[in-house]
A and B are shown apart, each in its own frame.
Chain A
Amino acid sequence: MAVREEDLRQRVAELLAAHDPAATDRLDFLRARFDAGLAWVHFPEGLGGLGAPRPLQAVVDAELAAAGAPGNDPRKIGIGLGMAAPTILAYGTEEQKRRFLRPLWTGEEVWCQLFSEPGAGSDLAALGTRAVLDDDTWTVDGQKVWTSSAHTARWAILIARTDPDVPKHRGITYFVCDMTDPGVEVRPLRQITGEAEFNEVFLTGVRIPDAHRLGAVGEGWQVAQTTLNNERVAIGGQAAPREAGMVGVVAGTWRARPELRTHDLHQRLLKGWVDAEVARLTGERLRQQLAVGQPGPEGAAMKLAFARLAQELSGLEVELLAEDGLAYDDWTMVRPDHVDFTGREAGYRYLRAKGNSIEGGTSEILRNIIAERVLGLPGEPRADKNVPWKELPR
């Protein structure tokens, strides 16, 4: 029987009655919330959800926030929540789902994404990290790069080449990699913002039990599509109130600093505001269409719009601030434990937003996806089709 809004309110009330947020340890509360099926209501029962329609999550979140309940800080566990979880849910064994999803959601275990390599970014399917099976253990060797939160992660979703003799898309397998394995070496990579949010990760003789494989051997590319489609929605397609995100920040600056206003900036801000509102409504509409099931290539459109807006608006804010826009808060190299696109000051936001059109698939690749998979335009002639991976030029 379908779960209704009243049922959810009832469940929230029961959770709060049994675990008074004011008197309960944060982690205990989060675990109890997960066990009550109120973590992500659209997930199945027993895995933090109730099989309820996804939009009802907002009801739960609002009730719990009003009661002062602690949250799981999505800024620290975005890759787990947005990418690993839906992939595990779609492809994991029962055992994998039970083992991984609860600590992922509570934030006890941070996840990172070991996909990109120095030679395989946009052309991710060309990746060269090797995984070889011996008995029931895989041995992994290779190098990954631009890995956000590798320095805080307990687990990684990893794609590696398991068959170099077949065309590139067919020889890839998807794994869950233990970041505490002695063969995993994480080195910080400093970003243009001054901080090192991402890393390079060297994998040398890393051991992965076959039980930590997600999906069939050689079908890692399909599994990765689930991750990537969810990543784009996670970055660009979240439900949000009007003036959330970058537009809200810039609007706030505009309202607070009347002395900076000019006609030119005013028109540009209003245009950005309209674009942001239209993007918000587009996302809302998309979510209504996709209330059930996995996101498709349309998610690419949301992420494309998000990146463009974030960049235009953050650039406008620096210009608006004029003399204050010449300043920067702090260049000190730190390794942050969270990602916050709208945090810190205008200069930081401007620089960080530059990554939005690169991470999770560049805006150019997203346009190709829209052109080819949404509009059905013919693809580029491919030199790498039907060629065994090992024979590809590099």
Chain B
Amino acid sequence: MTDATGPADLLYSEVEEELRSSVRALLADHCPPEAILARCEGPVPYDPALWRKLAADLGTAGLQVPEELGGAGASLRETAVVLEELGRSAAPVPFLGSAVLATTALLACGAEELVSSLAGGERTAALAVPLSTAPGAGFPATVRVDGAGTLSGRITSVADALVADVLLVPAVGPDGAALYAVDAAAAGLAVARRTSLDLTRPLADLALTGVPGRRLAAGAAAGEAVRRALLTGAGLLASEQLGIAEWCLSTTVAYLKDRTQFARPVGSFQALKHRLADLWLETVGARAAARYAADVLARGDADAEVAVAVAQAHCGAVAVRAAEECVQLHGGIGMTWEHPAHLYLKRAKADQIALGTPGAHRAALAHLVDLPAPVAG
């Protein structure tokens, strides 16, 4: 099998490290676990002030958007670094939905005006598909377009739709598949929050009854825009999962150095040291896989599909394992609402399903690398 067509850069540039520090500092100041917990059960779990600082002031919402469209003219590599930090802080911001999924779809459609408004952070958008949709899934067909061009149907479990100003709705009509922009305030659109396992990434169910929409792309172009958004989202989600795993590992290591039982630090027991050494090894792998996915996606390399499948098949499980170990190795305190470990456990478990389960990505890989499943019979 061939790998990337160009040399892959699996490290972080100086610029990327600088970006990381400023995002991390912002999140440390404005998004401590207490603040997340205080918000997550309220009507809107997002902190709009934090979003403004992150998206507009630091300019992260437009990292992958060219400068002439109001973006930073950076790439998906930098976007991935932001996701690592967002995973590390379990921050409730609509970054994945707006700056990754919706922005990628809009760039693919050439919807310049909308892209610009998202890049500046003044508006957010969401790609209206269930968060569990894998990149290889067929074009979503739960919304129909009628002859007059209005949309009706239902879409469940959409991430970051709750605060979105614009919804990108895939729909099927007499002229085939198309992608529409729907104003969140449009008549006939109902957005209902769904109680989600992940407290920090709220989901919403959308019900559309004769809602007006603006067509952004039709036919193969619409299909390609959705596919590319999902593929990019899945690839970059690996960076978020890496961030989750890292927080869980470092928090657990720090706790076990400190916690004393049997008159010695619990971290001095070899059984635990070995467990954490194994976990570290898995996160090292997660970093390599996530970086590779970000790099090939950024370069539009032909190996992108393999890279994304590998990253998702590996990183989803690593994040879950790290979060589960974090809860377990904190003992009773890890089972409490007060300790932030559960925020990561819930995010990790939901991320394992988001944009395709590890099983779905392994199945995708089976085709990509010519390791076909056994023939039924």
A residues with a Cβ closer than 8 A to B are: 116, 120-123, 126, 145-146, 189-192, 194, 262-265, 311, 315, 318-319, 322-323, 325-331, 347, 350-351, 354-355, 357-358, 362-364, 367-368, 380, 382-384, 387, 392-394
Q: What's the minimum C-beta distance from B267 to chain A, rounded to whole angstroms? A: 12
B138 at the interface (CB under 8 A from A): no
Question: B residues within 8 A CB of A145?
Answer: 332
Question: A15–B349 Cα gap in the complex (Å)?
Answer: 51
B contact residues around A362 at 8 Å (CB): 328, 331
Evaluate contact between A191 and B335: CB separation under 8 angstroms: yes
Docked-complex contact B196 and A328, CB < 8 angstroms:
yes
What are 14 A-B contacts with C-beta separation under 8 Å? A121-B261, A122-B261, A190-B336, A190-B338, A192-B336, A262-B363, A265-B359, A318-B349, A318-B353, A325-B353, A351-B346, A354-B345, A364-B272, A392-B263
The CA of A357 and the CA of B360, in the complex, are separated in Å by: 29
| Separation of A319 and B327 alpha carbons in the complex (Å) | 19
Interchain CA distance A307-B338 in the complex, whole Å = 23
Q: A318 near B345 (CB under 8 angstroms)?
A: no
Contact partner of A380 (CB less than 8 A), chosen from B41, B197, B260, B269, is B269
Residue of B nearest to A124 (CB): B261
Partner of A318, one of B130, B197, B363: B197
5 interchain residue pairs of minimum CB distance:
A264-B359, A192-B342, A190-B337, A123-B261, A384-B263
Contact present for A323 and B131 (CB under 8 Å): yes
User: Nearest Cβ in chain B — how far from A112, in angstroms?
Assistant: 15
Task: Please pick, from A319, A354, A394, the residue contacting B359 in the complex, using a CB distance under 8 A.
Answer: A319
Please give, as numbers and ranges, the residues of chain B lying within 8 Å of A146 by CB-CB distance: 332, 335
A231 to chain B, nearest CB (A): 15
* Interfacial chain B residues near A264, Cβ < 8 Å: 359, 362-363
Q: Distance (Å) between the CB of A158 and the closest chain B CB?
A: 18
Q: Cβ of B260 and Cβ of A319 under 8 Å apart?
A: no
Contact B262 A326 (CB under 8 A): no
- Which single residue of chain B is at the shortest CB-CB distance from A194? B337
- Report if B209 contacts A (CB, 8 A): no
Query: How many whole Å from A333's CB to the nearest CB in chain B?
Result: 8
In the complex, are the beta carbons of B130 and A358 less than 8 A apart? no
Tell me if B263 and A326 are in contact (CB < 8 A): no
Please indicate the chain B residues that have their CB under 8 angstroms from the CB of A325 in the complex: 132, 197, 349-350, 353
Distance in Å from the Cβ of B350 to the closest Cβ of chain A? 5
User: Which residues of chain B come closer than 8 Å to A265, judged between CB atoms?
Assistant: 359
CB distance from B377 to the nearest CB of A (A): 14
A382 adjacent to B342 (CB under 8 Å): no
B198 surroundings in chain A (CB, below 8 A): 326
In the docked arrangement, what's the CA distance between A125 and B338, Å? 26
Residues on B with beta carbons closer than 8 Å to the beta carbon of A364: 269, 271-272
* Bound complex: CA A363 to CA B324 (Å): 13
CA–CA, A295 and B175, complex, Å: 72
Q: How far apart are the CA atoms of A324 and B295 in the complex, in Å?
A: 32
Q: Which of B157, B263, B324, B338 contacts A383 (CB 8 A)?
A: B263
A326 near B350 (CB under 8 angstroms)?
yes
